[in-house]
Amino acid sequence: MNRCVIVGGASIGDYDIVGSYLRPDDYTIYCDCGLRHMDGLGAGPDLIVGDFDSGSDPELSVETIVLPCEKDDTDTVFAVKEALRRGFEEFLLVGVVGERLDHTLGNVSILLMLDSAGKKGVIIDDYSEMEVVSCHLEKPCIIDDSYAYFSLINIWGAARGINIRNAKYPLKNAEITCEYQYGISNEVLPGLKAEVSVGEGRLLLVKVR
């Protein structure tokens, strides 16, 4: 199936950068006030979801799911679950990290949910790309030297058997815990591609442009 793009209402400062990740065949879900990004991204909605507590229902001629204001799932989480129900395997989330730290952390945890479901998820903002590196991956995650930095952050349990090759700070069979985050601001060696793998557990990989 085509990739599913979820657009949230957090700020997007550089539409050219974020929009460059979009594909013509993406299936795009806008969440509530995320619709304010529609013109900037140049991508129309295939589905709109939201309780519209932060924006009015646009009443476009597009499939729209109106949610109650009082619910367990945020609009973004509901959108991801709905896309999973519809069979999507690959996800790109934009406009989901920003001023609200609580929403940011909640949306980052969506990457864990997708990884647990065996799906691929990436979050894009104005400065970076975020994805989960886990023991479920069959091959190492590759990072090219176009990124200024990359960081590995433990956001769940303990991660062991961590290997990093072709980087300024290599690791071999290492462990990173939530209490000691020493995998910040690594660099790919010039002209090479770094390889990251995890034998047990999961890490958040942040690639900084």
Q: Measure the CA–CA gap between 43 and 23, rounded to whole angstroms.
A: 9
- Write down the CATH superfamily of domain 132-208: Thiamin pyrophosphokinase, catalytic domain (3.40.50.10240)
* Beta-strand relationship, 4-7 and 27-31: parallel
Q: Does the domain at residues 4-126 carry the CATH identifier 3.40.50.10240?
A: yes
* Over residues 156-167, mean pLDDT: 92
pTM (two decimals): 0.90
Give the model's pLDDT for residue 71. 80
Which pLDDT belongs to residue 33?
87
Maximum mean pLDDT: which of 32-36, 39-43, 59-63: 39-43
Q: Does residue 50 surpass a pLDDT of 90?
A: no
Higher-pLDDT residue of 143 and 1 is 143
Grade residue 195 by pLDDT with cuts at 50, 70 and 90: very high
For residue 57, the model assigns a pLDDT of 63
pLDDT at 12 > cutoff 70? yes
pLDDT tens digits along 53-88: 665 666 778 899 888 877 888 889 999 999 999 999
pLDDT of amino acid 103: 84
Q: Sketch the domain layout of the chain as residue ranges.
A: 4-126, 132-208
Instruction: List, in sequence order, every residue forming a beta bridge with 50; answer none if it has no partner.
Output: 66
Q: Can you name the residues that pair with 193 across neighbouring β-strands?
A: 144
Tokens of 146: 């176009």
Helices 75-85 and 101-116, interaxial angle, to 10°?
20
Binning pLDDT at 50, 70 and 90, where does residue 160 land?
very high
Q: Supply the mean pLDDT for the chain.
A: 91
Q: What is the mean pLDDT of residues 115-125?
A: 94
**Nearest Cα to 92, choosing from 73, 105, 112, 111?**
111
- Determine the pLDDT at residue 54: 63
